[in-house]
A = this chain, B = another copy of it.
């Protein structure tokens, strides 16, 4: 088999980080291949551990075997699903129940404000393609950042303006740091990149940080002031208490706000691939052009299956959210009981956890000549030797020169690269309890608490 290509690959694509999940999967495969006595605890990719509701599975079977679902659908989704989803959002966000500042009741969301995509990654990519011309655009993103968002930046030749977050603030991005970026960009000459959007993920991936409705008001005002889009990735919206924000009650929200969502987490059907975009119909019209070239339509059977079920699934969503919050508490209890480990922030699907500082220099215990271990080393040892699959913090941060060039509060700590992301929602309480002995074992392997031996190269 010949290996060379006679044509070239676009430099922006070769410069993009390779997908990180397969790397974690390889560790899992290696662990499983070594016939471990302990089952693998997979807390890596954010995948709901519970199966979809029985009613959802039954409806999926029905819709999938209906020849009518096998035909093409509308570019922006089945109208029935868009209507149903608008109603869900009106309920969840309490749209129209409060009066806006002008004293008028705000208008409710309708199907015309909603587009359906083949997952939320697609929703984000479509939006970047529609709003950010390559080579002349920048986007504000808190750091740590969801890796696929960072990858899209490189792939689309859009400059990420990272806002490093401090663990002490629970990884909340500083609005004044964002303002500085926007002010600086405003003062710059033509030819430099122009900010087009602020992208916030709340509840956050990877840190689990949940931004309050009050904070989001401030971010909205900032975006509006600088005439950039405020893009909220609300994939994990079903796992917060109360309305995630009140921005849909603003009369002018359609001028500035775009809210992205997913059916993967709340309804637990990532393999069926459905996401959503809430935006002005004026924007959706342009997004439809991109979507037509990308998906023609999102897969129809899950759209048809869910359209009539959504209201009946509210109880299940709430139950999942309550169970997950209780699991978060259990998780904190377990982690806190392990010497040197610390939960730095948590919420939604994830907990962001600091492994013991000692690990950074405890590498002699691994029989390798290394002075310092980063999060990827630690995640690898934890998976290969203890059967606990997590994602290292390094997957959510730029590396090398890009990391060195970062400025601002939180930057130094990000460079310390000492966190792991645990996807709590992937597993049940029993699995969380099993983490205790596994992390104790890890401490043993890493020689935690023993005298530190620094090995020179």
Is A177's CB within 8 Å of the partner chain B? no
Is A298's CB within 8 Å of the partner chain B? yes
Chain-B contact segment, one of A70-78, A96-104, A368-376, A409-417? A70-78
- CB pair A148–B69 under 8 Å, yes or no, is no
Measured in the bound complex, the distance between the Cα atoms of B12 and A28 in whole Å is: 43
- CB pair A9–B286 under 8 Å, yes or no, is yes
Measured in the bound complex, the distance between the Cα atoms of B70 and A268 in whole Å is: 7
Chain-B contact segment, one of A127-135, A167-175, A334-342, A356-364? A127-135
Measured in the bound complex, the distance between the Cα atoms of B227 and A5 in whole Å is: 9
- CB pair A133–B10 under 8 Å, yes or no, is yes
Partner of A255, one of B6, B67, B107, B268: B6
Is A379's CB within 8 Å of the partner chain B? no
Partner of A282, one of B5, B21, B73, B293: B5
The residues in A between 120 and 145 inclusive whose CB is less than 8 angstroms from any CB of B are 121-122, 125, 129-135
Distance in Å from the Cβ of A339 to the closest Cβ of chain B?
34
Distance in Å from the Cβ of A46 to the closest Cβ of chain B?
9
Measured in the bound complex, the distance between the Cα atoms of B42 and A2 in whole Å is: 46
- Chain A 274-289, CB-CB to B under 8 Å as 1, else 0, gives 0000001111011011
- CB pair B273–A298 under 8 Å, yes or no, is yes
A136 (CB) vs chain B CBs: closest residue: B10
Chain-B contact segment, one of A52-60, A79-87, A205-213, A449-457? A52-60
Is A367's CB within 8 Å of the partner chain B? no
Partner of A289, one of B16, B72, B288: B16
Is A3's CB within 8 Å of the partner chain B? yes
Given contacts A2-B251, A288-B19, A294-B294, contact A72 B270 (CB under 8 A): yes
Is A119's CB within 8 Å of the partner chain B? yes
Residues of B within 8 A of A152 (CB): 293
Partner of A65, one of B18, B57, B294: B57
Is A295's CB within 8 Å of the partner chain B? yes
- CB pair B301–A13 under 8 Å, yes or no, is no
Given contacts A73-B271, A273-B299, contact A293 B134 (CB under 8 A): no
Is A247's CB within 8 Å of the partner chain B? no
Is A62's CB within 8 Å of the partner chain B? yes
Measured in the bound complex, the distance between the Cα atoms of B267 and A434 in whole Å is: 46
- CB pair A272–B301 under 8 Å, yes or no, is yes
Residues of B within 8 A of A271 (CB): 69-73, 297, 299-301
Distance in Å from the Cβ of A56 to the closest Cβ of chain B?
9
Residues of B within 8 A of A12 (CB): 133
Distance in Å from the Cβ of A315 to the closest Cβ of chain B?
19
Distance in Å from the Cβ of A302 to the closest Cβ of chain B?
8
- CB pair B155–A293 under 8 Å, yes or no, is yes
Residue from A5, A7, A75, A155 whose CB has the most chain B CB atoms within 10 Å: A7
- CB pair B196–A7 under 8 Å, yes or no, is yes
A273 (CB) vs chain B CBs: closest residue: B299
Give the 3 A-B residue pairs with the shortest CB-CB distance, closest first. A51-B67, A61-B65, A271-B300
A residues touching B (Cβ–Cβ < 8 Å)?
Answer: 1-14, 16-19, 21-22, 45, 47, 51-52, 57-58, 60-67, 69-75, 107, 118-119, 121-122, 125, 129-135, 148, 151-152, 155, 157, 196-197, 224, 227-229, 251-252, 254-256, 268-273, 280-283, 285-286, 288-290, 292-302, 305
16 contacts between A and B (CB under 8 A): A5-B255, A7-B227, A9-B283, A13-B289, A22-B74, A47-B71, A51-B67, A69-B272, A71-B270, A72-B270, A73-B271, A118-B273, A148-B293, A151-B293, A155-B290, A272-B299
With A19-B289, A270-B296, A294-B294 given, name 18 new contacts (CB 8 A).
A2-B252, A6-B256, A7-B228, A7-B256, A10-B129, A13-B129, A18-B289, A19-B75, A64-B305, A70-B269, A118-B118, A118-B295, A121-B293, A121-B295, A148-B292, A151-B292, A155-B293, A273-B300
